[in-house]
Amino acid sequence: MPRLRWLKRIIQSAFAALWAVGFRIRGHLTHQRPTVWSSPGGERILVVAPHPDDEVIGCAGTLLEHHRRGDRVRVCCVTDGGQSRALGLAPSEMAVARRGEIDAATRELGAELEWLGLPEGEWCLDVAVGRLTDSLERFNPHIVYAPSRVDFHPEHQRVAHALAEALRTVREATKLTAEFRIYPSQVPLTSVLTNLIVPVSLDDPRLLASLHAYRSQLGSIERGWRHRRYLGARYGFSGAEEFWCMAAKHYERLHRRSPNQRASQIFRGVRYYAWSDPLAYLRGRSERRRLKAVLEEG
């Protein structure tokens, strides 16, 4: 068995290296380059994470850069992640484990943690909307990193919908003007939607420490790391993170409808075996174009 695991790691690394070359070639051929991130410092940054680990999978390197620029970073974790079966634990035990993991990860990121901790898969939309409304009103962020419907996971889509409902309430009451930045969690945004990239170092010890804090979710963490590598190859960096930036009213418009029940059939995430990684970028391209057109139309 140890020899078999060693062989699998070698094959994984070989395929990941091959796809990175492909992304580098595509980057040279297309010359497409989104805006590169910058921050003036002194801003309030809110990350809405459906589960403990989504914040590091989608934007850990970016959050570290915000922290280094003097921005105040807060991670709002909506559910407890108790439905994960990675370690064979009962939901209550898994929820405790993942709370400990996100505590460790946010410390590495220099971020505050706002733990809503709703029971994964069993929460009520009205409760989530109320809690997210309170979070937005109290923190009044300049920038919100958010999940979206470019995803196959029903909980991610439900949280995005709840956030949009909360945003509608807050915008009517306080005229919130935060910029929203959609981050990917397993499902790449691709060049169809990406309009902001953040260069990150894949050797950054604090980035690696925040990722490795999630010992129960290392399979998902590895997929996110490969995605950073592919983005870096495409745009000429060691690694990178991608975002789809939009005004708050546009995020609300994009997610005001109930989640798409067919999302698991439309999109494909980066999976355990690296040989299939390109499929995550190809599947759902027409839906990505449709969502982009929704905003461009209005």
Give helix 205-212 / helix 218-235 axis angle, nearest 10°.
150
Q: What pLDDT score was predicted for residue 216? A: 92
The Cα–Cα gap between 109 and 74 comes to 10
Q: Which of 229, 246, 135 is nearest to 182 (CA)?
A: 246
The Cα–Cα gap between 112 and 106 comes to 7
Which residue's structure tokens are 């989530």? 128
The token pair that represents 275 in the structure block: 């040989």
> pLDDT above 70 covers what percent of the chain?
98
The Cα–Cα gap between 50 and 157 comes to 9
Question: Residues 41-57: what's their mean pLDDT?
Answer: 97
Query: What separation in angstroms does the CA of 78 have from each of 49, 104, 131, 213?
Result: 6, 17, 9, 19
Report residue 2's pLDDT band, with 50, 70 and 90 as the boundaries: low
The Cα–Cα gap between 160 and 259 comes to 8
Report residue 4's pLDDT band, with 50, 70 and 90 as the boundaries: low
Question: Residues 58-77: what's their mean pLDDT?
Answer: 98
Domain-wise residue ranges, the chain: 36-297
Q: What pLDDT score was predicted for residue 1? A: 53
Partners of residue 180 on adjacent β-strands: 144, 246
Which residues are within 8 A (CB) of 173 and not within 5 positions of it... i.e. 6 or more apart? 137
3-state secondary structure of 183: coil
The Cα–Cα gap between 42 and 70 comes to 5
Q: What pLDDT score was predicted for residue 87? A: 82
Q: Which of 175-184, 201-210, 257-266 ranks highest by mean pLDDT?
A: 201-210
> Would you identify the CATH topology of the domain 36-297?
Rossmann fold (3.40.50)
The token pair that represents 268 in the structure block: 């494909």
The answer to whether 175 touches 280, Cβ cutoff 8 Å, is no
Question: Residues 106-133: what's their mean pLDDT?
Answer: 97
Q: Is the pLDDT assigned to residue 298 strictly greater than 70?
A: no
Question: Residues 148-172: what's their mean pLDDT?
Answer: 93
Report residue 176's pLDDT band, with 50, 70 and 90 as the boundaries: confident
